[in-house]
């Protein structure tokens, strides 16, 4: 992975074997990013996505392998308990154009990925919200 900062924008290039969440969080820590928007495209070979089940309060997980185009990677970076936190969704197209998507749990690059972090001058923390069972933005004290 390599990246370059241009003012409030950071361009990342991920290489085969790089895991998206890991590299985005590593970059956020290095660049002291506390709030940013994330967009990207690329090629992946191993993807784990989830759809949150509001009844069980857990993700219905699905693992995809093989050649996939990342047609859309969107989300945000903020903080939780003083650490960088990424909330990302992904849409991928497989052979034959079959499209799947959901909450990104893990994604290993097979070819390359081109990702932008649009850094916002500010900070938004996350807090666990029950009975929802998820971590949501918390503007208290910011």
Residue 59: inside a domain, yes or no? yes
Half-sphere exposure of 81 (CA within 13 A, CB side): 2
Cα separation of 54 and 129, whole Å? Answer: 13
Place of tokens 């650490």: 83
Residue 141: inside a domain, yes or no? no
Residue 140: inside a domain, yes or no? no
Residue 42: inside a domain, yes or no? yes
Place of tokens 């649009």: 118
- Tell the burial category of 98 from Cβ atoms under 10 Å away from its Cβ (0-12, 13-18, 19+): exposed
- Residue range of the domain that includes 95: 2-133
Report the domain count for the chain.
1
Are 102 and 89 within 8 A, CB to CB?
yes
Residue 139: inside a domain, yes or no? no
Residue 84: inside a domain, yes or no? yes
Residue 116: inside a domain, yes or no? yes
Omega before residue 131 within 30° of 0, cis: yes
CATH number at residue 72: 3.30.1330.80
Joined together, the tokens standing for residue 94 give 């497989």
Entry pTM: 0.94
Residue 20: inside a domain, yes or no? yes
Are 43 and 67 within 8 A, CB to CB?
yes
pLDDT of res. 141: 57
pLDDT digit of tens for each residue in the chain (142 aa)? 999 999 999 999 999 999 999 999 999 999 999 999 999 999 999 999 999 999 999 999 999 999 999 999 999 999 999 999 999 999 999 999 999 999 999 999 999 999 999 999 999 999 999 989 999 999 875 5
Cα separation of 30 and 73, whole Å? Answer: 21
């Amino acid at each position: 992975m390599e990246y370059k900062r241009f003012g409030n924008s950071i361009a990342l290039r991920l290489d085969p074997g790089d895991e998206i969440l890991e590299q985005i969080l590593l970059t956020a820590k290095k660049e002291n990013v506390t709030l940013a928007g994330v967009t990207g495209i690329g090629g992946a070979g191993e993807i784990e996505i989830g759809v949150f089940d509001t009844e069980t309060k857990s993700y219905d997980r699905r693992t995809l392998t093989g050649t996939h185009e990342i047609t859309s990677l969107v989300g945000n970076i903020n903080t939780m308990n003083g650490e960088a936190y990424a909330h990302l969704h992904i849409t991928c197209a497989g052979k034959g154009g079959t499209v799947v998507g959901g909450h990104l749990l893990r994604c290993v690059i097979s070819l390359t990925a081109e990702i932008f972090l649009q850094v916002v001058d500010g900070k938004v923390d996350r807090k666990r919200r029950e009975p929802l069972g998820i971590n949501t933005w918390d503007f208290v004290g910011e």
